[in-house]
């Protein structure tokens, strides 16, 4: 019979955690007898001597990843409950570590294996694309069979993401939803539900009809859902009338809707008895094409709001500026503590958001490109971003995931400086400014100031003396690499120009002895290496 290698977690000479082979049975027996005869203070401590309650906490801590900038982390599902879908988000739950821990010993297997089912979603190997759950893929069917064969794993699921392919219409459509419907009936302890796609049209036997039937199953069986994200895919419809009709989760805390659209086959209404009744306190609206009237009804639905995130407005023939948003949000002015606004439709001369209208607002995030888009400069009414209790102001330079290396310039630095001066002059509550700036690595192509030099000077010379903290993203490349990349691009540009004007360079060099002499001295100066070498020598005949 083949002997199995048994291991346990133990300590090294430097007090590091490692995997240790168990001794033979005879040695173990002798060691055990010695340990029992020795005083308790002399016994070697092993992690497996700890009770399950502590081991569970250790395993969960070991499997956690650091946050990647998510707005908040759900402690129940240990996943990022983001305000918008982000395919490149780093999950704070490390499944590789869980799989490794589950192979250490039986006791760790009993603790780690159920945690593998805590968050269920399917992505491609590089996490760039969602894998459909409707219709179910082979991996989804394997999970389905595993949960049916081991029903005790079902109670551990806290988060599930369901991606539904569009363009699914026909008699065979209900069969595509069998697995997802089973999950809705058996995973009754989930806290976070994300449904992506499946709203192609509203015709009979359509995926839209089946998707809403799936949502109704979750409403019926999963009464503990706290975070709900619903997102359309592509140009599909996600009308509000069915949201008002079917979303009835009594413990819902955060609702995120991506891509709500105007329904043109009837008037959108929210019954008076339903206004100020919904339980969620956080509302996230992104890529909306609904008219202002519909957005107003959505904001009137919850009993109170403490957090609002609004980004991307494409309503027809309607301008969504800060003054319009202020009017929509005033119904919750006494409870709102967090407001984030990005990508709205502004006129060039629009003023900034007036935070003084919200007496308890503590966090305000605005887009740099919605702050005087044509030319950023501090105006007299810009001081209104300093609400009476505003502690943190965030300036976001993101534009659809891309920023230029020239986005943060001296004008931007001056605007922040003037805001800090206004904070001191008004004795405002502002104590922290956040800059969200992360240019693409391959972007630097212009001769400009390294943005983080400006930011560091702003922090050290302007903000800190005034008692204001400044936080910002780490640069994607350090200044030395940035300079090398910029020089390389400039050399390539000079090479291209040299190819185009080689004949002219050759004629001018032959026509002037003085130019030839200057050229020789320059060549001697740069002879030491390729970088910085005079490119003219490649095009001049001697």
pLDDT digits (tens, 9 = 90+) for 402-444: 778 888 999 999 999 999 999 999 999 999 999 999 887 665 5
CA dist 489 and 404 (Å) reads 16
CA distance 290 to 146: 42
Q: Among residues 279, 349, 294, 288, which one has the least CA distance to residue 314?
A: 288
471 has a pLDDT exceeding 60: yes
**CA–CA separation, 230 vs 401, rounded Å?**
21
Instruction: Give yes or no for a contact between 8 and 20, defined as CB atoms under 8 angstroms apart.
Output: yes
Tens of pLDDT along 188-226?
A: 999 999 998 888 765 554 567 888 999 999 999 999 999
Q: Does an H or E element contain 434, and which?
A: strand 432-436
pLDDT band of 327, cuts 50, 70, 90: very high
Q: What percent of the chain has pLDDT over 70?
A: 69
Nearest to 58 by CA among 96, 19, 97, 92: 97
> Which strand (E) or helix (H) includes residue 311?
strand 307-313
Interacting residues of 86 by C-beta distance below 8 A, sequence separation 6+: 80
* Contact criterion met (CB below 8 Å) for 151 and 114: no
Query: By CB neighbour count within 10 A (0-12 exposed, 13-18 middle, 19+ buried), where does 227 fall?
Result: buried
pLDDT digits (tens, 9 = 90+) for 375-402: 788 999 999 999 999 999 999 998 766 7
Number of other residues whose CB lies within 10 A of the CB of residue 243: 20
Residues 6+ apart with CB under 8 A from 385: 352, 353, 354, 355, 364, 366, 393, 419
Q: Which residue has the higher pLDDT, 248 or 131?
A: 248
pLDDT attached to residue 90: 39
d(CA 108, CA 62): 12
**Separation between Cα atoms, residue 285 and residue 434, nearest integer Å:** 22
Q: Please check whether residue 70 is in contact with residue 93, taking contact to mean a CB–CB distance below 8 angstroms.
A: no
Above 90 in pLDDT, residue 338? yes
Model confidence band, residue 112 (pLDDT cutoffs 50, 70, 90) = confident
Paired strand residues for 160: 120, 193
Ranked by mean pLDDT, which of 18-27, 486-495, 522-531 comes out on top? 486-495
Determine contact, residues 119/79, Cβ cutoff 8 Å. Answer: yes
- Retrieve residue 231's tokens: 């997102």
Q: Which of the two residues, 539 and 328, has the higher pLDDT score? A: 328
* Average pLDDT score, the chain: 79
User: What is the structure's pLDDT at 507?
Assistant: 45
CA torsion sign, 137 to 139 to 144 to 145? positive
| Strand pairing category for 119-120 and 192-196 | unpaired
Task: Strand 282-288: give its sheet, edge to edge.
Answer: 119-120, 159-163, 192-196, 227-231, 254-258, 282-288, 307-313, 338-342, 363-367, 392-396, 432-436, 469-472
The pLDDT of residue 3 is above 70: no
As a whole number, mean pLDDT of residues 501-526 equals: 46
Res. 181: pLDDT tops 90: yes
Report the alpha-carbon distance of residue 164 to residue 236 in Å, rounded: 12
Q: Closest by alpha carbon to 339, among 313, 359, 309, 367?
A: 309
9-61 pLDDT, tens per residue?
666 766 666 766 655 444 444 455 555 555 555 555 678 888 888 888 888 78
Instruction: Name 381's Cβ contacts closer than 8 Å, sequence gap at least 6.
Output: 351, 352, 354
Question: pLDDT-based confidence at 531, cuts 50/70/90?
Answer: very low
Main-chain phi, psi angles of 155, to 5 degrees: -70, -15
SS3 302: strand
DSSP 462: I
> In which band, very low, low, confident or very high, does the pLDDT at 304 lie, cut at 50, 70 and 90?
very high
The DSSP 8-state label assigned to residue 482 in this structure reads H
493-514: b (≥16 Cβ within 10 Å) or e: eeeeeeeeeeeebeeebeeeee
Which of 421, 449, 451, 425 is CA-nearest to residue 433? 421
Nearest to 299 by CA among 332, 337, 343: 332
The pair of three-digit structure tokens given for residue 20, joined into one six-digit string = 């240790």
Report pLDDT for 241.
84
For residue 503, what pLDDT is reported?
45
Per the model's pLDDT, the better-predicted residue between 486 and 75 turns out to be 486
- Please report the sign of the dihedral spanned by the C-alpha atoms of residue 365, residue 370, residue 375, residue 379: negative
pLDDT at 178 over 90: yes
User: What is 53-92 written as a DSSP string?
Assistant: HHHHHHHHHHTB----S-S-EETTTTEE--SS--TTPPPS
The answer, yes or no, to whether residue 255 has pLDDT greater than 70, is yes
Question: What is the pTM (predicted TM-score) of this model?
Answer: 0.77
pLDDT at 339: 97
What H or E segment, with its residue span, contains residue 310?
A: strand 307-313
How far apart, in whole angstroms, are the C-alpha atoms of residue 298 and residue 542?
77
- pLDDT of residue 493 exceeding 70: no
What's the rounded Cα separation, in Å, for the pair 184 and 207?
17
Nearest Cα neighbor of 199 from 257, 255, 249, 252 is 257
3-state helix, strand, coil in the chain (%, to 5): 40, 15, 45
- Spatial separation of the C-alpha atoms in residues 417 and 439, rounded to whole Å: 22
Percent of the chain with pLDDT over 90: 39
């Amino acid at each position: 019979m083949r002997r199995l290698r048994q291991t346990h977690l133990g300590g090294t000479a430097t007090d590091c955690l490692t995997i240790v082979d168990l001794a033979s049975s005879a040695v173990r027996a002798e060691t055990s007898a010695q340990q029992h005869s020795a005083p308790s203070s002399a016994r070697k401590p092993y992690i497996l001597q700890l009770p399950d309650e502590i081991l569970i906490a250790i395993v969960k801590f070991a499997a956690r990843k650091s946050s990647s900038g998510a707005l908040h982390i759900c402690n129940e599902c240990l996943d990022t409950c983001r305000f918008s879908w982000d395919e490149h988000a780093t999950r704070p739950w490390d499944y590789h570590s869980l799989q490794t821990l589950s192979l250490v010993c039986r006791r760790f297997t009993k603790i780690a294996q159920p945690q593998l089912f805590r968050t269920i979603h399917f992505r491609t190997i590089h996490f760039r694309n969602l894998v459909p759950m409707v219709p179910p893929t082979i991996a989804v069917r394997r999970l389905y069979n595993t949960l049916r064969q081991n029903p005790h794993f079902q109670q551990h699921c806290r988060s599930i993401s369901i991606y539904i392919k569009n363009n699914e219409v026909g008699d065979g459509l209900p069969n595509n939803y069998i697995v997802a419907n089973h999950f809705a009936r058996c995973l009754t302890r989930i806290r976070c539900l994300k449904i992506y796609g499946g709203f192609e049209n509203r015709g009979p036997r359509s995926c839209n009809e089946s998707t809403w039937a799936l949502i109704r199953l979750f409403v019926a069986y999963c009464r503990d859902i706290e975070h709900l994200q619903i997102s359309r895919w592509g140009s599909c419809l996600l009308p509000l009338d069915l949201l008002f009709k079917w979303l009835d989760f009594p413990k819902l805390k955060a609702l995120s809707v991506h891509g709500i659209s105007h329904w043109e086959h009837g008037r959108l209404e929210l019954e008076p008895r339903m206004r100020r009744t919904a339980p969620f306190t956080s509302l996230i609206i992104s890529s909306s094409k609904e008219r202002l009237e519909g957005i107003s009804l959505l904001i009137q639905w919850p009993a109170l709001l403490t957090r609002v995130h609004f980004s991307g407005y494409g309503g027809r023939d309607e301008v969504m500026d800060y003054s319009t948003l202020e009017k929509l949000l005033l119904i919750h002015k006494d409870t709102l503590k967090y407001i984030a606004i990005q990508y709205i439709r502004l006129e060039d001369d629009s003023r900034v958001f007036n935070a003084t209208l919200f007496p308890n607002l503590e966090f305000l995030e605005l887009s740099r490109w919605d702050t005087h888009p044509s030319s950023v400069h501090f105006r007299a009414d810009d001081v209104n971003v300093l609400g009476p209790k505003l502690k943190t102001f965030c300036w976001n330079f993101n534009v659809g995931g891309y920023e230029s290396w020239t986005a943060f310039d001296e004008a931007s630095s001056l605007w922040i400086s003037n805001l800090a001066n206004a904070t001191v002059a008004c004795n405002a509550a502002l104590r922290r400014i956040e800059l969200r700036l992360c240019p693409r690595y391959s972007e630097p192509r212009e001769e400009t100031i390294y943005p983080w030099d400006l930011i560091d000077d702003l922090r050290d010379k302007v903000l800190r003396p005034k008692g204001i903290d400044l936080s910002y993203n780490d640069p994607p490349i350090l200044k030395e690499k940035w300079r090398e990349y910029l020089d390389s691009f400039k050399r390539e540009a000079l090479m291209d120009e040299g190819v185009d004007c080689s004949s002219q360079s050759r004629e001018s060099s032959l026509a002037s002895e003085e130019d030839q002499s200057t050229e020789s001295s320059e060549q001697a100066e740069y002879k030491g290496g390729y970088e910085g070498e005079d490119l003219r020598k490649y095009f001049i005949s001697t």
